[in-house]
Amino acid sequence: MFSIKFIYEKYKKDVFTYLISLSNNPTLSEDLVSETFLAAIKSLPNFKGDSDIKTWLFSIARYKWYDYLRKKSEVVNFEDLAEIYLQGSDNIERSFINKTIASKIMDFLNVQEARTKDIVIMRIEGYSFHEIATKYNISENSARVINFRAKRRIRKLLEKEGLGDD
């Protein structure tokens, strides 16, 4: 088993990049990286090695992100509310559309074959096609094709729902 220092040095940038992709906030992402590795230290004795360490850390990071969102949603900040109101309906509408699109994509993924769903989610989480191919014992090209076909089906679904790019 690896030391936490080794794990931290090897994966901190990946975890940070993943959290940036979720939050678009570098300061928050740094805080969540710290919380992620603190949680990893606490749960390291329970890590059985069934998954890749990077996958395990991304799962912890994702739950830390969810915890942050849950806590944030409990407190309504008047300044944030005022800012949204003053930005106008276009930004509110865009935010709603983005949430709708994300919901449609998750609905689509939830009815796909497990491998297809996992490959798309792994790409969203920043995994390379090489890492995906290694995990599923397939060629990189096969991983690319599966991902491409899923994206094409998602685009068609969104266009059918009137949510595609115009």
Q: For 19-53, how does the pLDDT look when each residue is reduced to its tens digit (9 = 90+)?
A: 988 888 889 999 999 999 999 888 887 777 777 88
Rounded Cα distance between 159 and 164, Å, is 4
**pLDDT at site 81:** 44
Contact at 8 Å (CB) between 133 and 142? yes
Topology alike, domains 1-75 and 89-166: no
The confidence band for 65, taking pLDDT boundaries of 50, 70 and 90, is confident
**pLDDT at site 5:** 85
Statement: residue 70 has pLDDT above 80: no
Question: What proportion of the chain, given as a percentage, has pLDDT over 70?
Answer: 79
Q: Give me the CATH code for the 1-75 domain, please.
A: 1.10.1740.10
Q: 89-166 sits in which CATH class?
A: mainly alpha
Q: Crossing angle, helix 140-160 and helix 114-124, to 10 degrees?
A: 90
Domain boundaries, the chain: 1-75, 89-166
Q: What is the pLDDT of residues 90-137, one digit of tens each?
A: 555 566 666 667 777 777 877 888 899 889 888 877 889 999 999 899
Q: Which helix (H) or strand (E) holds 41?
A: helix 26-43
Q: What is the pLDDT of residues 6-23, one digit of tens each?
A: 888 999 999 999 898 888
Statement: residue 85 has pLDDT above 70: no
